[in-house]
Amino acid sequence: MSARRLSAILLLTIAAAATWYLAKSLVMTEIAETPGSIIRDGFYLRSARILGTDENGQLLYRIEAEFAQQQGENEIEFRNVRIEYATAADVPWVLNADIAWIGEDQHLVELSGNVTAVNNQGILDQVTEIRTPFLTFEPDTFRAETDRRVQIRIGARSLTATGMLALLQDNQLRLKSNVSGKFVP
């Protein structure tokens, strides 16, 4: 073996030993995870817009939200939500809520927190407004329903009830129980 080869092997051995020593002497620090720093699978969107179509592929409704995030495998949570039907659907209702969830089947939207449904063409040709803390909504069938307290305003008239079924396409409201109201001519 030549002196040149021997010095190259010796130099490589010293470099390997020095690298091993440095790697061993470095202290491994453990990164503590805080609940807010955990990265989850899924997605989130800012200024989200989802378009719903009818059986012919025509625009039926749009869901707009300031923020949307996937929850679990098959659920999406929306924040500051607005749901509006397309002009061609001829359903003049607009729904707003603090939070909305769309589940796996995607045919049911659950609205929660300051839920309002407003029809500017209104029942009896007056602005109609529905307020409730929780509402299940089926945009494909134009149905909205709740078993919670509901306040309905039709112009200057006001009704309260427990539970309601609204057939938005037909402008029909069916109150379930504990109905009371104020009608001024």
Give the DSSP letter string of 45-112.
EEEEEEEEE-TTS-EEEEEEEEEEEEETTTEEEEEEEEEEE-GGGT--EEEEEEEEEE-TTSS-EEEE
Phi, psi dihedral angles at 6 (to 5 degrees): -65, -40
CA triple 176-161-172, angle to 5 deg: 60
pTM of the model: 0.72
Q: How far apart are CA 139 and CA 151, in angstroms?
A: 21
77-126, pLDDT tens digit by residue?
999 999 999 888 888 899 999 999 998 777 899 999 999 999 988 667 78
pLDDT average, residue stretch 49-77? 89
Q: How far apart are CA 134 and CA 113, in angstroms?
A: 7
Neighbours of 80 (CB within 10 A): 15
- 41-182: which CATH number, 3.40.50.300, 2.30.130.40, 3.40.50.1980, 2.60.450.10? 2.60.450.10
